[in-house]
Amino acid sequence: METADVVIIGSGIVGSSVAYHLAQQGCTNVLVIEREAHQGKGSTGKSMGGVRAQFSTPVNIQMSKYSIDFFSKFDEVIGHPADYRAHGYLFCATNQNHLAYLKANRERQNALGVTNVEWVTAEDIVKMVPQLRADDILGGTFCPTDGFVDPHSVMMGFMLNAREKGARLWLDTEVTGIEVENDQIKTVNTSRGSISTRIVVNAAGAWAAKIAEMAGAELPVEPLRRQLVPTEPFDQLPQRFPMVIDMSTGFHFRREGKGILLAWNDPKETPGFKTEFDTTFVEKILTRAASRVPVLAEAGVNPRRAWAGLYEMTPDHHAIIGPAPTVEGLYFVNGFSGHGVMHSPASGRVAADLILNGHSNLIDATQLGVERFKEGKLLEETAIL
Residue 319 burial by CB count (10 A; 0-12/13-18/19+): exposed, middle or buried?
A: buried
Whether the predicted pLDDT of 188 surpasses 90 = yes
Over the chain, what is the mean pLDDT? 96
Residue 76: inside a domain? no
Q: Are residues 304 and 328 in the same domain?
A: no
- What pLDDT was estimated at residue 107? 97
As a whole number of Å, the end-to-end CA separation of the chain is 45
- Cα 124 to Cα 253: distance, rounded to the nearest angstrom: 18
**pLDDT tens digit string along 15-70?**
999 999 999 999 999 999 999 999 999 998 889 999 999 999 999 999 999 999 99
The answer to whether the beta carbons of residues 312 and 292 sit under 8 Å apart is no
Average pLDDT of the residues in 80-99: 97
* Band of residue 385 on the pLDDT scale cut at 50, 70, 90: low
* Band of residue 173 on the pLDDT scale cut at 50, 70, 90: very high
Whether the predicted pLDDT of 193 surpasses 80 = yes
**pLDDT tens digit string along 205-228?**
999 999 999 999 999 999 999 999
End residue of a domain, out of 313, 332, 349? 313
Selection from 197, 220, 216 nearest residue 312 by Cα: 220
Q: Are residues 253 and 130 in the same domain?
A: yes
Q: Are residues 299 and 235 in the same domain?
A: yes
Q: Which residues of 162-199 are buried (b: 16+ CB within 10 A; e: fewer)?
A: bbeeebbbbeebebeebebeeeebbbbebeeebbebeb
- What pLDDT was estimated at residue 379? 82
The answer to whether the beta carbons of residues 187 and 194 sit under 8 Å apart is yes
Residue 324: inside a domain? yes
Whether the predicted pLDDT of 109 surpasses 90 = yes
Q: Are residues 227 and 308 in the same domain?
A: yes
* Band of residue 88 on the pLDDT scale cut at 50, 70, 90: very high
End residue of a domain, out of 313, 333, 349? 313
The DSSP H or E segment spanning 347 is helix 344-357
**pLDDT tens digit string along 111-167?**
999 999 999 999 999 999 999 999 999 999 999 999 999 999 999 999 999 999 999
Whether the predicted pLDDT of 176 surpasses 90 = yes
Selection from 377, 213, 226 nearest residue 313 by Cα: 226
Distances (CA, A) of 222 to 131, 177, 331: 38, 20, 18
- What pLDDT was estimated at residue 378? 86
Q: Report the percentage of the chain scoring pLDDT > 90.
A: 96
Q: Are residues 227 and 141 in the same domain?
A: yes
* Band of residue 383 on the pLDDT scale cut at 50, 70, 90: low
**pLDDT tens digit string along 283-333?**
999 999 999 999 999 999 999 999 999 999 999 999 999 999 999 999 999
Average pLDDT of the residues in 178-194: 98
DSSP state of 54: -
The answer to whether the beta carbons of residues 261 and 253 sit under 8 Å apart is yes
- What pLDDT was estimated at residue 384? 59
- Give residue 252's domain range: 86-145+223-313
- Cα 292 to Cα 248: distance, rounded to the nearest angstrom: 10
Residue 385: inside a domain? no
- What pLDDT was estimated at residue 381? 65
Q: Are residues 111 and 161 in the same domain?
A: no
End residue of a domain, out of 264, 293, 313? 313
Q: Are residues 264 and 319 in the same domain?
A: no
Q: Are residues 268 and 132 in the same domain?
A: yes
For 94-142, what is the HEC assignment? CCHHHHHHHHHHHHHHHHCCCCCCEEEEHHHHHHHCCCCCCCCCCEEEE
**pLDDT tens digit string along 245-271?**
999 999 999 999 999 999 999 999 999
Q: Which CATH number characterizes residue 39's domain?
A: 3.50.50.60
Q: Are residues 227 and 297 in the same domain?
A: yes
Whether the predicted pLDDT of 73 surpasses 70 = yes
- What pLDDT was estimated at residue 377? 86
Q: Are residues 134 and 93 in the same domain?
A: yes
Whether the predicted pLDDT of 350 surpasses 70 = yes
